[in-house]
Chain A
Amino acid sequence: MTERYVVMGAGEVGSHLARTLSLEGHNVVVIESDADRRDRLQDEIDATIVLGNGAHIAVLESAGVSESDLFMAVSSNDEANLVAASLAKRLGARRTAVRVGVTDDITVHRRLYEAVFGVDLLLSTQLQATTRILNHVLGHNTLEIEYLAQGKVQLRKIHLEAGSLLTRKPLHEMKMPKGSLVVAFFRGSELIIPSGDDMAQAGDDALVLSKSEVIASVERSVSSKPCSFGTVVIAGGGATSFTVAQALAAQADQVKIIEKDRRRAKQLASRFPDLEVLNGDATDISLLRAERVASARAFIALMGNDERNLMATLLAQELGVPRVIALVERTETSHLWRKLGLMRIVSPRRIAAERIKNYIDRGYNSNIVSLQRGKAQVIERQLAAASPAAGVTLADIKPPRGLIVGAVARGDRVFVPRGSDRLEVGDTVILFVQEEHLPTVRLLFPGHESTQRAPV
């Protein structure tokens, strides 16, 4: 079936998407504000290219967003992307997908952004890249992350390899960290809600709900990798570096960031105490030697410049760092990199493009919140005074199998409730529900469907 897509921004993400979709035989319109780039693209891609700013209504109208199945705002300007998506929705686009750079806003306020701007899929390149980097560094297999209860709770889809503990022990023998819960297994297209005696098979994906503080140990126990991890050196002190460093701080013995700009280095050094910030050039081998980078377990180059990243990772490899990861913006050269021996390449834009493509291929089932085409759902609810569940213990509610109260956020505290725990008015509850129990949820927890997109 031929669909109509509008892509705003013909950078790395946009042109990749436009090219792939157009090759698949769909109608693609690209909005690009740079005339030179438009001319170049015109020869490469079989698509209409509209010159202009996508945040302006006239441009959107001439691109025909009103008949589009999906509007993708993937330019490098976060704010313009959000505004454009909001306008496109009003003008009649059926769905919108927006790429932004920042991470924090997405992890904490994603739902609000989606509601206000009418966005169906909001994704952060930085967040995607961070997840990929952490997988490489720690040997985890996280496929997707969903942030709930303003980032205090995470839902992670983790691929299970043959060695994983979950494939060797039944669930009730697993000692999962406090505040975490295995919610479901995916086996092929099948969704399994496990009981205590169930066991995963190698190749399954596990869906794990966990407090954000313990997510690191959850990953560890699921993927059964060594607990302590030596020093990790990060070259470059940008926003991605900081997010990566923050996530690694709990697991690595020491995280070092090498940043060339003294002001930026100072700024980083004042963010949190466990971080070791070095002021210097990561492509300077004498600095790497003096700081004993050779003894590090992993080296990550995130300097925002492909050539410098290449240089630094080559040096780190030369010094004998076992795991070397580089962030690459220009994806067309990545095969050259692999020839040089750099095995781990992370390309944030390529990841974002793949993620959006994935969204389309899965029939616009954007995230793990809505699972297996609606067969199960994760719902976040604030407990109203009128709810019959308010002030009652979980044991009294007797939720049926297939309805799991996964986590409760009360004020700053988050916990996985037991039978004796009482639900209070104002609590945010995170429910995992199979389709047939949706009416029960409506009965027990009346209120907004917060997973539902607010009409705009």
Chain B
Amino acid sequence: MNLYPPLRVLGRLLSVIALAELVPTLCCLWYGEGAAALAFVATALLTGLCGLGLMYLGRHSSGELYRREGILIVVGGWVLASLFGALPYLLSGEISHPADALFESASGFTTTGASILTDIEAVGRGVLFWRCFTQWLGGMGIIVLFVALLPELGPGARFLYKLEVPGPTAETLHPRVHDTAVALWQIYLLMSGAQIALLLLAGLDLYDAMTHTFSTLSTGGFSPRGASVAAFESPWVEAIVIVFMLAAGANFSLYYGLRQHRGSSLWRDREFRLYAGLILLISVVICGNLLRTGTYEQAPRALLDSVFQVVSILTTTGFASADYDAWPNLSRVLLVCLMFVGGCAGSTAGGMKIMRLAIGLKAAFREIRLIFSPSHVMSVFVGGKAVPDSVVRSVAGFLILYFASWVVGLVLLTIGGVDLETSMSASIATLGNIGPGLSAVGPTGNFADFSAWQKLVMVVLMWIGRLEVYAIAAVVSVAFWRR
């Protein structure tokens, strides 16, 4: 493999990240946090210098990017972003242990939302802004941002884009992938603006509105408040957040379709209907469960809380408006099941994606049919469209690798003696980029009690979840490095 072209591209990626690191400086200065501002400037300088260094190392490379180089760039980009994104936490002194800082940074970029902070509101506002801002960047994807900002990446950009965009198949909205990336960011910015405006109307200040918008639309789930969205005690804020979580968990190409033909393409999309139907069904079941067991007295509150939690978990946001860990077991189990499902393909959500599960299930049904009717030739149809067999194969492989990752994570996290609920939910909460799990890592708990190496395991799980297994699996496979 030729290492020079990836180095050059990664160097440029780092300089983009360096620019992003300057943004929270404004916030620090506004709130008079001089030390934190200095930390951000120092981080940006360091990141920028490293970027220039990499660009210098790779200066003699030709422009061609092949698949291996592409995979290396995407994986390397996420690793580097997480590493350099951890610097502000360390330099500002808010987090002292490097593993903790890396966990927080990876949790941000991968839009997981899991935290090792025990007292969030004691942390400076600038650093908390950075936490949410990393989620916003990671939500639409740092590679997509990179492709949008740098049109001269050439044909290799298409492969980079496909590796990062979630879902079994990555659609491009424009013939040119650069234009697609720009269009996606435009939609993302537009939605962000809308949510900030609505949250301001609902009575939040600009800081809260922005940070919560960042972590809603990216389906991240970081909040500068200890009690998360529940801190505002406003059903309006909760409703707004529900709507935008829902929007962020749907395929962004649908919004592009809306903008183009202003038709009802949303409802015609099979995956979107499954997504909406699943939310409705599980919310009603959980709401009924809460009322019957007497956990809630008032039906409206129970309904709002169950819808909020269901949407938050299914879209892998991980906001909490209630302590669902204290809910009856049926509700808790259903929420854990949703953690495995995740949002739609082409959204900012994590998880396995509804599309993949639909394809996987249909493919399994096909195998049942073939047992007794072997000469039958069948295609897997989802939403009236045939799914190519290559995609079915890739989905089957994905599902197996995904479960394997979860199991390995679960075993490794159990070492040290946490209970099964904690380790099972912590493994899927990080792999699925959700954030909170059950028991010790529930909405009121945090991930601080794991040992340093276990935090690194969870960082890897978050990367695996965000890049949807294959890219990471390729980089650790032997054949990838063989000449």
Contact = CB atoms under 8 A, between A and B. Distances in A.
Interface in A245-297: 259, 262, 265-266, 268-273, 276-280, 287, 290-291
A262 B375 contact: no
Interface string B385-408: 010110000000000000000000
Contacts of A278: 375-377
A269 B378 contact: yes
Contacts of A271: 386
Contacts of A276: 376
Contacts of A272: 384
Nearest to A279: B377
Q: Place the interface of chain A in its size category.
A: 10 to 19
Contacts of A262: 377
B379 A270 contact: yes
B381 A279 contact: no
A262 B384 CA distance: 22
A269 B375 contact: no
B386 A287 contact: no
A390 B97 CA distance: 75
Q: How large is the interface on B (under 10, 10 to 19, 20 to 34, 35 or more residues)?
A: 10 to 19
A272 B375 CA distance: 18
A273 B375 contact: no
Contacts of A279: 375-377
A286 B307 CA distance: 56
Q: A262, A269, A270, A287: which has the most chain B beta carbons within 10 Å?
A: A270
B368 to A, nearest CB: 15
B376 A277 contact: yes
Contacts of A265: 377
Given A271-B386, A273-B384, A266 B377 contact: yes
A270 B386 contact: yes
Nearest to B369: A276
A394 to B, nearest CB: 27
A13 B297 CA distance: 82
B379 A290 contact: no
Contacts of B379: 266, 269-270, 273
A256 to B, nearest CB: 9
A366 B379 CA distance: 42
A276 B384 CA distance: 15
A277 B377 CA distance: 5
Contacts of B375: 278-280, 287, 290-291
A281 to B, nearest CB: 10
A268 B379 CA distance: 9
A290 B375 CA distance: 10
Shortest Cβ-Cβ A-B pairs, 7 listed? A270-B386, A270-B379, A265-B377, A273-B381, A277-B377, A269-B379, A269-B377
Interface of A: 259, 262, 265-266, 268-273, 276-280, 287, 290-291
Given A266-B377, A291-B373, 20 more contacts: A259-B377, A268-B377, A269-B377, A269-B378, A269-B386, A270-B379, A270-B386, A271-B386, A273-B379, A276-B376, A277-B376, A277-B377, A278-B375, A278-B376, A279-B375, A279-B376, A279-B377, A280-B375, A287-B375, A291-B375
11 contacts: A259-B377, A270-B379, A271-B386, A273-B379, A273-B384, A277-B378, A278-B375, A279-B375, A287-B375, A290-B375, A291-B375
